[in-house]
Amino acid sequence: MDLSTLVDGFTLRLHAKVRIQATYREGLERLCRYVTRPPIKVERLSLAPDGKVSYALRRRWRNGTSAIAFEPLDFLARLAALVPRPRAHLLTCHGVLAPAAVWLPSSS
C-alpha cells in the first residue's frame, strides 16, 4: 500500500503492509506508539561529573562496554548527522519502480 499526500509543498508517503481494523483500538495504539517512538531513550542519557554525556547501552558489548561517553559537542554533532537534510529524498527507487521508468504510463 502506498499512500501519499502533499503538505506545505512536501510529499509525504506512507509505505505499509500493516492493516489494522479501525475498531481494534489496542492495535492502533501500538502502531501509533511504534511510529512516534523517539530515536534514543532519554532514560539512558546522563551527564557524568566530568561534563561528558553518557549513553547506557541496552546490552553489554562483548568487550564489557556498557555505556559510551561523548563530549557534549561531539554528541550533538552525532545526533545532528542523523537528521536528513531538508527536501532530501529518503527513499530512492530503481529499475521498474524508478520515476522515469520506461514501463510507467506517461503522465501526458
- Residue 64 region by backbone torsions, left for phi larger than 0, else alpha for psi between -120 and 50, else beta: left
In this predicted model, what pLDDT tens digit does every residue of 8-51 receive, in sequence order? 555 555 555 667 788 888 988 888 888 788 778 889 999 999 99
Please answer whether residues 89 and 79 qualify as being in contact, where contact means their C-beta atoms are separated by less than 8 angstroms. Answer: no
Look at residues 79, 99, 80, 81 and name the one whose alpha carbon lies nearest to residue 89. 99
**Residue spans per domain, the chain:** 1-37, 40-83
The DSSP code for 7 is E
Q: Supply 12's cell numbers.
A: 509525504
In this predicted model, what pLDDT tens digit does every residue of 44-87 receive, in sequence order? 999 999 999 999 999 999 999 999 999 999 999 988 888 878 87
